[in-house]
Structures are given as structure tokens and as C-alpha cells.
Amino acid sequence: MFSLEEFHQDFMQRVAVETQSRGMSKHEAFIESIRDELVKDGELSESCELAEYNKKDMEVCGYAFDEERGELSLLVSCFFQSDTLQTLTKAQIDSKFKKLKTFFKETANKLYESMEEGFTHHSMAYNIYTYLSKNMVEKVRLILITDGKATKNLLVIPNETKSSIEIEHCIRDMEYLYRMYKLDDSSNGFEVEVNLPVLVVKTPTEEYNAYLSVVDGTTLAKIYGDYGSRLLEQNIRTFLQFKGNVNKGIRNTIEYEPEMFFAYNNGITATASGVVVENGKIKKISNFQIVNGGQTIASIYATSKNKKNDVSKVYVQMKLSVVANESKQDAFVAKVSECANTQNKVNKSDFFSNSPFHRDFKEYSKNILAPARDGVQIKTYWFYERVRGEYLTEQMYLTSKEKNQFLKKRPKSQLVDKSLLAKSEVAWLQAPYVVSNGAQDSFKKFAKHITETLEKDEFSITGNYFKEAIARIIMFRQTEKIVSQANWYASGYRTPCVAYTLAYLSHYLEQRSSFLNFMKIWEEQKVSAPLQKILAHIAPNVYTHITNPPVGNTNALQWCRTKLCWEHIEKIDFNLEIDEGILTSAEEQKYINKEAKKDKKRTTDMEKWIFVTGFKYWPQVLAYYQREDLAGQLSTQQMDILSKMATGVLNPPSEKQAKILYELYENAMREGLVIKQQVDVPTF
């Protein structure tokens, strides 16, 4: 396991890579990195925006508002920029929180009026003033983020109450992020203390343990208030703020017939990695996840807060399943979630986290070598981080030499997570307003697109798609760099500007039936000078339009999140001059895609055939190649794959492994191997 110091070094190296590859300052890369981690962990809502403001006795670097819970989060940073882990002092903590409190206080006094419009800090101050003036804020969380470490006695700061608003102080340091990393990503590693009656259900399988319970509304509201979206992280639906008929029905029952709630409501389905039962009561639930009934628990919480209703008479039945094998936790929760969510219409894209797309994309990232670049002859891989912390985890037990080799082949600059992939793809799909709305909305849009694509053609996610998707990521990052380093860029709205720039180019080419040559970007592993010139021409024009909303729109941030903004920009003529060298013909594009799908189908057929042959045939193939007269005929890799298949370790084999196994089987049959219970060898 990595030590805290090693984790800190890795984190700072990531910040350095982000700084270089995206053209932003270290401080910007730092606060964005921590912001993303806190959003993933449910600490911050998806609406979290970075907006730096540092003047006199005020300081802030971002904010988020959870409208459902009336919770405003304000961020301030203490960035040491040191290679060694620094200790946060009491004076630094006090100073940062004091400046943050002053900023919050001044927003209520119309601080935004003294700020220049068109900047993210103006939008931030204006929005906070709006929340306060409408009495929407019930709690303020002041969050100090740092690349240092605070001693334990400084982490506990008493809450305050100002004008009936509760103010909480939070410090999110490297030790906090380190703990997040060490916990199982799928479970988020938290424990909920409860006192619930329980009926232990004897199941006919050892796969899981089952419990039935009844939870009162007060307990549910408290749990949701404490853990929020972390409870629903693996749930397929989000709370719709009483916009749907189901939620209105839940609300009305809570308000007018709370004692009937148990009879009317279907209850909640939950999973956990463990429970503690004492004297017929559940006392503790580890890694509690609501996989069905998220609307129920969120509605109870919202009604108790927004309407000030007494929910103590509300009772909800709960079915709780605890998987016995922790290694199967992800698959178990996914299956329970899919089967439990049948009472309302659920789109297949809602289950995208469990889509074979991720398996295939991960497999391509492991097997497709990126072309060498910048005169370096070492070929590398792009690393697709399907699960948070996966990149670091794979280095955990490597020696120093092995780790250096790992980083040479899989450099941090070629690390891609699901959020970045979704943003770059959705931008090119001409939905920049979705990208502007945050990672979660981008991921939902991307999920819908991929799901519909796979439904039309199961062989559409090919090795060629992987290369083109990586090319779009390279272009996305290069555009970020262009924007960050431009003299017209003041700060703020970087992501919307990048998204609108790429969407505009995509739309422009589509209108002219032209195709960008993504394979050229892949082969060169960079954006060519002519393409950079085009992007640099579009970006400032886009920036001007998204930061100057038409009369009647609240502010630039809200404006660029609307489809209307995109419909306005896509019609503007920016007088582009397209270099033919960055394009490819429709015929060539069609041919490449066709061949890629044929190869994908061929490999998939191989995988299916290997599965049909079953485990019992492969030991015979292994025994054949272990003969003395054939010693040395197979490479170490071939023998390893064959041995694993023969012993049932590969279940199922990857595309690359399937190809190797098929070739070995076909070769053995050609050389005279006779398989008992003969299996026909198809031709692919």
C-alpha cells in the first residue's frame, strides 16, 4: 500500500501534468483536481463551480449549492506547491476561514454589484445573493482544501449559527484524500450507525445475506442529511424535486397521510458490504447503498426540511442484501439495482456504468499501443481509469524499477477517466451546453448516445473508435491549453469555451459533409499546426458570445448552460478557412469504419466459439503443447494464456487472448491433435 507521502507525491505529479498539458496554472489544476474528487465522493454537488476571488480580506475559489438540501458549499484553498507534505497551522486555518466568512457575509450585501460582469466570480456572488434573498440557504459548509496535512486536533471546529443559518467548517487535506483512495471505490467506505428492528431472512444461497427492516422517517431524513448523494451513488435515478407524479404522490402522503405511508409505498431496496446485529437490532451498516427507493428517501428528507413537516409517523419497509464475497460487490450491486428498478420506466442508458462499453474500451486501452512521438522510440499506452484510483492501485506492489517501467509505458499525461471521455465526446456531439453543466450531465448524455449506438450496432465500439476517441481527448486538452494561454482569456468559463469551440467545428464540418481526420491526430499524438490555428480562431469568438448573454438572461454561467445559447452560436459565421490537410474523405472514413466492425465481429465470434467449446477441451490443447517435442514452440505469453484458459482462470478471455487461443487451437488441429468429443473449428 502506498504511504501518505507517496500518495501526496503522486497527486502533485498529476497536478504538474495537468498544468503542462492543459496550459493552466498549478493552483487552478490543484483546486480542479480536488473539486473533482469531492464531487465523485458526494462531498460536493455536481453544480460545483470554480471561481477564484481574492481581494483584501476576502478569499474564495469555488462554490456549490445543493438546492434539495438548502446547502451552500464555499471553497477556499491553502496551496503549498511543495514536493514534501507540509503541515497546516492553526493560524493558516483561522485566516482562510475568516476570509471565506467575510466573502459570504459580503455576498448578502450585493457584493456582485462591485464586480465586473462576465467573470465567474461575478456569477458566483450574484447566485449566492439570489439564494440568500430567497431564503433558500439553510446551511453553509466552509471547506478548506489543501495539499498539506492538518493535525487531528485542528480538524474539529465547532459549528456556528448566523441568522438561523448553520455554518460548518470542513478541512479536506491530503490525508482525507488518501483515506478516500484507500477505501473501496465502489463502496465509498462509510458506516451508518442506526438502531433498527430486523428480521434475518434465511436465504437458499451463500452468495448473500438478507435482512428485512422498517425505518422511520426521522432516521431516514437524518441519514440522507448526513450522507446525501453518497447513499445513491450506485442508484440509477436521481431525485426529481417533486416534478414527477411519483414524487408528488410521495410528498402528498407524507404531508397529509403519513401514517399510511408504509401501506402505500413500495419501500426501499438497499445493499451493504456488512452489518452489525445486536439483540435483534441492526446497529451499523457498512457502505449503505440505496439501489431502489432513492426518490422515497430524498422526498422524505426534502419534505421534512422544506415543509418543516414531522416525518416521525412515516415508516418505510427496507430489504437489505449483504454480499458475502467482497470481490463480487460491484457486480452484485449492479444486478440488484437493475432488477429492483422495474416499477417505473428506466432507460438502458441508466445502467451505463455496467455497460460492456467500459470493458471493451478498457481492453483497447490495454492492448492498443500509441505511436511513438517527439523522437522517443518507446511506444506507450493510454490508460483508461474505469474505476477511481485504478491507475495508482496498479502501481501499488511494483518495485521501484517496475514502477518506472509502468510510468514510461503509461505516462500520467495519457491517463483518461470516464468524465474526461464523456466531456470530449459530448462536445463533439454538438451538445456544449451539456458539458457546461458538469461532468454528471455529460456522462448521462454520453451514456444515452453509446447505449443507442450499441442498440443499433453491437459492433460499433471498435479499436478504431478507441483511437478516434483518444484523438478527440487530445484535441480537447489542446484546446484547453489554447484558451488558458490566450491573452484574451481572463479566467473562468474555460470548459464551456472549449466545449463550444469543438462543437462549433464539429457542426461546421458536418454542414459541409466534411470529416476531420482523427487518425492523423492519433498517429501524430498531437493536434497539427493548421488545426490548432482553426481552434485558436474559433475560441475567442465563442468566448465573447458565451460571456455576454443577451438581455433578459441572468448571467453568463446560466446562459452557456442553455440549449438556446448553442442554437445562437451555431448559426454565427466565424469565417473559417479549413486546411484540406486536416480532413479525410467520406469514402475513406466509411471504409475504415467498415473494416473495424468486420474485425470486431470476427473477434466477437471467436470469443463466443471459445465459450461454447467449454473448459473441458482446453486442458487437451495445453497437454498437446506441453509435449517434449514441442518445447519452446510457444512464447511465454501464449503458454500463460493457454494455461489460464485450461485451468478456468480466464472467464472470459479478452479479445486479444481470444485471438491467441483460437490460433493455438487451429494450429494444434492442423498438426493432428484429436480432441475427445470433437468440436468443429469455424473459419473466421
* Spatial distance between the Cα atoms of 316 and 392, rounded to a whole number of angstroms: 41
DSSP three-state, residue 318: strand
Residue 15 shares a structural domain with residue 159: yes
pLDDT: which is higher, 78 or 547: 78
d(CA 484, CA 54): 19
- Res. 381 pLDDT band, cuts 50 70 90: very high
Each residue of 479-513: pLDDT tens digit? Answer: 999 999 999 998 789 999 999 999 999 999 999 99
Output the pLDDT for position 34: 93
Same domain? 559 vs 620: no
Q: Which residues pair with 55 in a beta bridge?
A: 58
CA-CA-CA-CA torsion sign (11, 17, 22, 25): positive
262 close to 315: Cβ distance less than 8 angstroms: yes
Q: Quick one: 16 exposed, middle or buried, by C-beta within 10 A (0-12, 13-18, 19+)? A: middle
- Which is more confidently placed, 596 or 613? 596
User: Which residues span the domain enclosing 449?
Assistant: 359-584
Instruction: Decide if 676 is inside a domain.
Output: no
Last residue of one domain, picked from the residues 164, 182, 200:
182
Q: 618 with 611: CB under 8 angstroms? A: no
* Whether 380 and 338 share a structural domain: no
Q: What is the pLDDT of residue 353?
A: 62
Contact (Cβ atoms closer than 8 angstroms) between residue 233 and residue 42: yes
* Neighbouring-strand partners of residue 74: 63, 142
Q: Which residues pair with 212 in a beta bridge?
A: 199, 319
- 17 belongs to a structural domain: yes
Please work out, in degrees rounded to the nearest 5, the angle formed at the alpha carbon of residue 202 by the alpha carbons of 200 and 206.
115
- Same structural domain for residues 399 and 447? yes
> Which grid coordinates are listed for 681?
473449428
Asked if residue 515 belongs to a domain, the reply is yes
Residues 112 and 218 in one domain: no
Tens-digit pLDDT profile for residues 318-334: 999 988 766 555 556 65
Q: What percent of the chain has pLDDT over 70?
A: 87
- Report CA Rg, the chain: 27
Q: What is the DSSP string of 30-47?
A: HHHHHHHHHHHTTSS-TT
DSSP-assigned letter for residue 579: -
- Cα gap 258→616, rounded to integer Å: 59
332 and 220 part of one domain? yes
Q: Taking residues 464-477, what's their average pLDDT? A: 96
Whole-structure pTM value = 0.73
Reduced DSSP (H G I as helix, E B as strand, rest coil) percent helix, strand, coil of the chain, to 5 = 55, 15, 30
Closest to 476 (Cα-Cα) out of 434, 515, 527: 527
Residue 654: phi, psi to the nearest 5? -75, 175
Identify which of 204-218, 525-539, 547-561 has the greatest average pLDDT.
525-539
Report yes or no on 141 lying in a domain.
yes
Whether 593 and 579 share a structural domain: no
Lowest mean pLDDT among 38-42, 307-311, 343-347, 375-379: 343-347
- Is 70 exceeded by the pLDDT of residue 541? yes
Within a domain: residue 677?
A: no
Give the least confident one: 42-56, 136-150, 566-580.
42-56
pLDDT at 244: 46
Alpha-carbon gap, residue 197 to 214, rounded angstroms: 7
Structural contact between residues 365 and 357, judged by C-beta atoms closer than 8 angstroms: no
Please count the structural domains in the chain: 4
Residue pair 603/658 in contact (Cβ under 8 Å)? The answer is yes
Do residues 16 and 114 both lie within one domain? yes
- Whether residue 368 lies inside any domain: the answer is yes
Report phi then psi at 674, rounded to 5.
Answer: -110, 115
Question: Is residue 137 scored above 60 in pLDDT?
Answer: yes
Residues 205 and 173 in one domain: no
Q: Are residues 550 and 612 in the same domain?
A: no
60 neighbors 105 (Cβ within 8 angstroms)? no
Of the three residues 565, 584, 603, the one that is the final residue of a domain is 584
Residues 574 and 594 in one domain: no
Are β-strands 139-146 and 165-172 bridged in parallel, bridged antiparallel, or unpaired? parallel
Closest CA to 420 of 9, 40, 30: 40
How many beta carbons lie within 10 A of that of residue 483, not counting itself?
25
CB burial class (10 A; 0-12, 13-18, 19+) of residue 577? exposed
User: Quick one: angle between helices 463-485 and 494-511, nearest 10?
Assistant: 130
Of the three residues 524, 559, 584, the one that is the final residue of a domain is 584
Instruction: Identify whether 390 is part of a domain.
Output: yes
Give tens-digit pLDDT for 416-437: 998 899 999 999 999 999 999 8
Could you tell me the maximum CA-CA distance found in the chain, to the nearest angstrom? 88
371/480 same-domain check: yes
pLDDT at 88: 94
354 within some domain: no
Q: What is the pLDDT of residue 183?
A: 57
What are the residues whose beta carbons fall under 8 Å from the beta carbon of 133, sequence distance 6 or more? Answer: none
Give residues with Cβ within 8 angstroms of 50, minimum separation 6.
Answer: 28, 31, 32, 35, 61, 62, 75, 120, 492
Whole-angstrom distance, CA of residue 626 vs CA of residue 543? 66
Residue 351, pLDDT above cutoff 80: no
